[in-house]
């Protein structure tokens, strides 16, 4: 994929690669260092696990305590209800008739009109 | 692939992998070795499993990119939350000289590293993979996690920008 006129860049990168390769630690040493680092820090995994367990325990304790003491989060919807200034435009004349159920049956009928 | 085969393959890729890790870590040798060590553990312990969908080289390079990103994220977290260092483990420390110091003697390569540092991350990645690692643009696209068209654009623009920067450096 490298074009012919990229020779200059190829040369520069090759020089960089040679320099990097000169300071490359051997593969077995790299793996050994990685293993040693991992072995030297076994406590960190345990510490992480302990932190998660403590957090979960704290959440459980707090929620249980709140439930026992009847502490509940109450939201007063009336205080958070917002009224738009143009709400009055939505009011139709006589809309109370639309929102109420008409009474049917003997109580609703006026015999005098029958 | 058996663990012995994987180890042998990784050993063959080792120099190229370190070069790629160096590029991902801005030529910070200590960070690059830390990334490579973590990456090898992931591969050898089976936390990153090669399923043969790409070449092993491309796969390993992809793991290195992701690991470098994780290490950067952890370093940023450590800077912001000192307590996090207790949970995230110790930072890699080694006594090797800084790459900038090591490259002082080699003017041409130092110029190249400086110029690469001024390119966008994507352009730097694609150019490194193509010129340093001898990957095709399609393979570089897989490693960088971009489409072939995007990789081609980064390659062309990156080359032009790199030539300009190297010219400026020479003046």
- Section A31-42 average pLDDT: 81
Distance from CA of A32 to the nearest CA of B (A): 9
Percent with pLDDT over 70 in chain A: 80
Distance from CA of B87 to the nearest CA of A (A): 6
Examine residue A85 and state whether it is found in any structural domain, yes or no.
Answer: no
- Give residue B97's pLDDT: 46
A34 → chain B, closest CA residue: B37
Examine residue A96 and state whether it is found in any structural domain, yes or no.
Answer: no
Contacts of B93 (CB under 8 A, 6+ apart): B30
Residue A71 pLDDT > 80: no
Question: Per residue in B60-118, pLDDT tens?
Answer: 999 998 998 888 888 777 777 666 655 555 554 444 445 555 555 467 788 888 888 88
End-to-end alpha-carbon separation of chain A, Å? Answer: 99
Residue A94 gets the label, from left (phi > 0), alpha (psi -120 to 50) or beta, of: left
Residue A17 pLDDT > 70: yes
Residue B124 vs residue B91, higher pLDDT: B124
DSSP 8-state symbol, B26: T
Question: Per residue in B29-71, pLDDT tens?
Answer: 888 888 999 899 888 888 888 877 778 888 999 999 899 888 8
Examine residue A91 and state whether it is found in any structural domain, yes or no.
Answer: no
Examine residue A72 and state whether it is found in any structural domain, yes or no.
Answer: no
d(CA B90, CA B59): 27
* Interface A:B, Cβ pairs < 8 A: 82
> Given an 8 Å threshold on Cβ–Cβ distance, is B112 in contact with A17?
no
Could you tell me the residue range of the domain that residue A44 belongs to? 1-57
Examine residue A88 and state whether it is found in any structural domain, yes or no.
Answer: no
Residues 27-86 of B with CB under 8 A from A: 29, 33, 36-38, 40-41, 44, 86
Examine residue A48 and state whether it is found in any structural domain, yes or no.
Answer: yes
What is residue A18's three-state secondary structure? Answer: helix
Residue A83 vs residue B78, higher pLDDT: A83
- Position B161 confidence tier, pLDDT thresholds 50, 70, 90: very high
Q: Name which of A55-59, A75-79, B130-134, B163-167 the model is least confident about.
A: A75-79
Structural domains of chain A, count: 1
Question: Per residue in A2-14, pLDDT tens?
Answer: 555 688 888 888 8
- Give residue B98's pLDDT: 53
Cβ atoms of residues A23 and B94 within 8 Å: no
Distance from CA of A66 to the nearest CA of B (A): 29
> Given an 8 Å threshold on Cβ–Cβ distance, is B11 in contact with A48?
no
Examine residue A52 and state whether it is found in any structural domain, yes or no.
Answer: yes
């Amino acid at each position: 994929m490298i074009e012919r006129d990229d020779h200059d860049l190829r040369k520069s990168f090759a020089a960089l690669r040679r320099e990097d390769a000169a300071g490359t630690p051997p593969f077995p040493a790299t793996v050994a260092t990685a293993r040693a680092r991992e072995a030297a820090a076994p406590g960190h995994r345990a510490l992480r696990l302990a932190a998660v367990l403590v957090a979960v325990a704290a959440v459980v304790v707090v929620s249980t305590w709140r439930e026992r003491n009847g502490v509940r989060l109450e939201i007063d919807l009336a205080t958070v209800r917002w009224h738009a200034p143009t709400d009055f435009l939505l009011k139709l004349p006589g809309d109370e008739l639309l929102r109420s159920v008409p009474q049917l049956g003997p109580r609703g009928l006026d015999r005098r009109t029958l | 692939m058996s663990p012995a085969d994987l180890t042998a393959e990784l050993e063959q890729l080792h120099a190229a992998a370190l070069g790629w890790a160096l590029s991902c870590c801005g030529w910070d040798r200590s960070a690059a070795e830390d990334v490579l060590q973590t990456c090898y553990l992931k591969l050898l312990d089976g936390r990153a499993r090669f399923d043969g969908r790409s070449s092993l080289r491309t796969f390993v390079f992809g793991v290195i990119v992701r690991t470098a990103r994780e290490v950067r994220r952890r370093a940023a977290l450590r800077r912001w939350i000192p307590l996090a260092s207790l949970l995230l483990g110790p930072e890699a420390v080694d006594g090797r000289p800084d790459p900038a110091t090591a490259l002082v003697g080699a003017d041409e390569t130092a110029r190249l590293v400086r110029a690469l540092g001024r390119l966008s991350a994507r352009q730097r990645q694609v150019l490194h993979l193509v010129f340093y690692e001898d990957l095709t643009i399609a393979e570089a696209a897989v490693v960088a996690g971009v489409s072939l068209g995007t990789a081609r654009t980064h390659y062309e623009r990156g080359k032009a920008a790199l030539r300009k920067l190297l010219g400026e450096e020479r003046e």
